[in-house]
Amino acid sequence: MSETLQEIAAAMMADGQGILAADESTGTIKKRFDSIGVENVEANRQAYREMLFTAEEAMTKYISGVILFDETLRQSTLDGRRFADVIKAAGAVPGIKVDAGAKPMAGFPGEKVTEGLDGLRERLQEYYKLGARFAKWRAVIDILPSEGLPTIGAISANAHALARYAALCQENGIVPIVEPEVIMDGPNSHHDIDTNYKVTEDTLNIVFDELYKLRVDLTGMILKPNMVVPGQNGPQVSPQEVAERTIACLKATVPAAVPGIAYLSGGQSDELATEHLAIMNKIGGFPWKMTFSYGRALQAAALSAWGGKKENVAAGQAAFTHRAKMNGMAALGTWSAEDEREAA
Ligand code: 13P
């Protein structure tokens, strides 16, 4: 008997757990490998992902789902177990990134629109057979107030694509993670938190308008938003303010029917990404569950502890387990800076 969208979404939002975003494309993982001097070849990508997915304590206790890249969904452990089966055996849900990346948008200099709708129905049907039960599509919204960015045109085009994608996922028994990322980093990121708040609010309003128009079932999706933060080079604020502004922005825009919010880390430091999530869950008082769907903030320490060497697999797994545990506590709102120091 196949599970409903609501059952899959509930499993992805299990208490004290969150999602590991390990869906770096071959180009993106090259950047990560370059930072540790590891060659970007299939054997190394396989070894790195095997290290993560076989970290038993992290995977069974703190990880509810893993987002994979196409190549990774087709890979296996060296002893022949398909990664999707390893993830399932650990009690987590395998997922798949299905967008084809953010491309320059015609007529909108400096802005991008995410592509990948052509042939998506057939790809989703194949991914389902390969074991994927949720998917991810990331739209990118850049802030550059001096150039009038973002424009309504770019936000609307991205929101429409997200809604088309989400509807196709649901048609095929797959829970869509809807990810409209308002970017915080980059060389021109001098804006303040109010600017991010306004852009995030506009973006989420337009995204939910499109989801409604295209008949997406809000009870069978997960939202993956940015937190409301100042630009990386803008005036910084306290973690408490980030938490309060983020909750306020989402309360103003995200319908209560949505079962879960799973944040991206977006270039925040590991510990700050944990702290923000912990404060939000401590504050509480919102209708959705809130957890993590971190890429960099879950993997950075593990990546450098591993360094591409077989003899470091246990150290890499320990680093991953530590971050997963801290974020698991943040999802419950029980994390404190003392936990971080004690466990380190
Ligand atoms: P980061 O947490 O590194 O932002 O990545 C999450 C993700 O999946 C972006 O699409």
User: Is there a catalytic annotation at residue 224?
Assistant: yes
Residue 95, ligand 1, Cβ within 6 A: no
The distance between the two most distant Cα atoms of the chain, rounded to a whole number of Å, is: 54
pLDDT at 323 (0 to 100):
98
Q: Measure 7 CA to ligand 1 centroid, in angstroms.
A: 24
- Residue 76 is part of which domain span? 5-343
CATH number at residue 254: 3.20.20.70
Using DSSP bridges, classify how beta strands 93-97 and 175-182 pair: parallel, antiparallel or unpaired: unpaired
341 pLDDT band (50/70/90 cuts)? confident
Atom of ligand 1 nearest to the CA of 264: 2
- Report the C-alpha gap between 279 and 28 in whole angstroms: 30
Residue-wise pLDDT for 55-94, tens only, equals 999 999 999 999 999 999 999 999 999 999 999 999 999 9
Please name every residue paired with 140 in a beta bridge, in sequence order, or none if there are none: 181
Atom of ligand 1 nearest to the CA of 179: 10
Residue 295, ligand 1, Cβ within 6 A: yes
Report yes or no: 192 and 231 within 8 Å, Cβ to Cβ: yes
Atom of ligand 1 nearest to the CA of 298: 2
130: tokens are: 């390969």
Question: Among the options 179, 181, 210, 275, which is catalytic?
Answer: 179
Q: Measure 316 CA to ligand 1 centroid, in angstroms.
A: 19
296, 298, 323: which to mutate for ligand 1, most atoms within 8 A of CB? 296
Name the nearest CA neighbour of 289 among 250, 315, 245.
250
Return the SS3 of 52. Answer: helix
Residue 325, ligand 1, Cβ within 6 A: no
pLDDT at residue 48 above 60? yes
Q: Measure 182 CA to ligand 1 centroid, in angstroms.
A: 12
Cα–Cα distances in angstroms (integers) from residue 268 to residues 95, 168, 185, 264, 274, in the given order: 23, 32, 9, 9, 9
Burial 50-83 (b: 16+ CB within 10 A, else e): bbbbbbebbbeebbbbbbbbbebbebebeeeebb
- Report the C-alpha gap between 82 and 88 in whole angstroms: 10
Report yes or no: 37 and 308 within 8 Å, Cβ to Cβ: yes
Cα–Cα distances in angstroms (integers) from residue 172 to residues 98, 116, 214, 215, 223, in the given order: 13, 16, 15, 14, 18
Q: Which residues neighbour 36 within 8 Å (Cβ) at sequence distance 6 or greater?
A: 303, 304, 306, 307, 308
Report yes or no: 174 and 133 within 8 Å, Cβ to Cβ: yes
186 pLDDT band (50/70/90 cuts)? confident
pLDDT at residue 342 above 70? no
Residue-wise pLDDT for 216-271, tens only, equals 999 999 999 999 999 999 999 999 999 999 999 999 999 999 999 999 999 999 99
Name the nearest CA neighbour of 58 among 81, 36, 90, 88.
90
Q: Which residues neighbour 144 within 8 Å (Cβ) at sequence distance 6 or greater?
A: 110, 150, 188
User: Is there a catalytic annotation at residue 198?
Assistant: no
Name the nearest CA neighbour of 135 among 105, 181, 167.
167
2 pLDDT band (50/70/90 cuts)? confident
> What predicted TM-score, i.e. pTM, was given to this entire model?
0.97
Report yes or no: 330 and 274 within 8 Å, Cβ to Cβ: yes
pLDDT at 1 (0 to 100):
59
Residue 138, ligand 1, Cβ within 6 A: yes
Residue 266, ligand 1, Cβ within 6 A: yes
- Report the C-alpha gap between 188 and 101 in whole angstroms: 21
Give me the percent of the chain exceeding a pLDDT of 90. Answer: 96
* Domain count for the chain: 1
pLDDT at 187 (0 to 100):
76
Residue-wise pLDDT for 93-131, tens only, equals 999 999 999 999 999 999 999 999 999 999 999 999 999
Name the nearest CA neighbour of 258 among 290, 226, 282.
290
Cα–Cα distances in angstroms (integers) from residue 273 to residues 10, 46, 66, 227, 229, in the given order: 23, 27, 18, 9, 11
Q: Which residues neighbour 215 within 8 Å (Cβ) at sequence distance 6 or greater?
A: 167
Report yes or no: 189 and 231 within 8 Å, Cβ to Cβ: yes
Residue-wise pLDDT for 295-337, tens only, equals 999 999 999 999 999 999 999 999 999 999 999 999 999 999 9
Q: Measure 327 CA to ligand 1 centroid, in angstroms.
A: 15
N-term to C-term CA, the chain: 43
